[in-house]
Amino acid sequence: MTISSANDTSEGIRALEKIAPIEAVLFDIDGTLCDSDPLHYDAFRVMLQEIGFNGGVPITEEYFIRNIAGKHNDDIAAILFPNDVQRGLKFTEDKEAMFRRIAKDKLEPIKGLRKLTAWIENHGLKRAAVSNAPRPNAELMLSVLGLSDFFHAVILGSECTRAKPAPDPYLKALEVLKVSKEHTCVFEDSVSGIQAGVAAGMPTIGLTTRNPSDLLMQAKPSFLIKDYEDPKLWAALDELDKSF
């Protein structure tokens, strides 16, 4: 890590410390609670190739990261099928069904997630899952991960006026939980998700689950972590502990 990036991380950690006393924690789901992007990528790659998208040449992981990952299906449909968005919407519905068939047997929590959820429960914090995923996907993933009863609310982009990268889903989560943005933080793994958390006025911690660090930093997260065992995260949480 360069000196400048180390300083940036220190500033980001201090930004998280400023939310003390912490009231709530908000999580994205895909790529943030579980490493689900490879399953989404496989489903898109196979199904797009079957219909001859891109001349039948499979999409690359880089294309997936830059054009699909973290985005709402309405936006994905417009990107993939700009001349026939209705076809795109039907395609994304079929793809989500394929994802659910795959995901129920293959999802694993991000490393250290159980440690963090235990910390959150022990401190009596409110929590919500905030996702651009369709509700059947969100509920399936939370169930497979054993987190259906952990969250006090599940907020979806499709059920807000605007999905991520707009701040609406995170602002709705604050309203539902009856907490302040000054005492709440966000965990995200995508550019659009980080943009949403930052736009909602909360310190947003980015996970480098699959998306490149340089791409995520363009969305201005407070700092990046590899997973929930990252020492940077626990250094910040240790400081927050002093406020209890």
The one catalytic residue among 28, 75, 168, 230: 28
Q: Which CATH architecture has domain 3-36+107-241?
A: 3-Layer(aba) Sandwich (3.40)
Give the torsion through C-alpha atoms of 131, 132, 134, 138, to 10 deg. Answer: -20
Can 230 be counted among the known catalytic residues? no
Q: What is the pLDDT of residues 28-37, one digit of tens each?
A: 999 999 999 9
Q: What is the mean pLDDT of residues 184-208?
A: 97
Q: What is the mean pLDDT of residues 101-126?
A: 96
The one catalytic residue among 8, 30, 35, 105: 30
- Whether 144 and 107 have beta carbons less than 8 Å apart is answered as yes
Q: What is the pLDDT of residues 91-105, one digit of tens each?
A: 999 999 999 999 988
**What is the reported pLDDT for 4?**
41
Can 42 be counted among the known catalytic residues? no
pTM: 0.90
pLDDT tier, 88 (very low <50, low <70, confident <90, very high otherwise) = very high
In the predicted model, is pLDDT for residue 2 greater than 80?
Answer: no
Q: Where is pLDDT greater, at 152 or 242?
A: 152
In the predicted model, is pLDDT for residue 49 greater than 60?
Answer: yes
Q: What is the mean pLDDT of residues 214-237?
A: 95
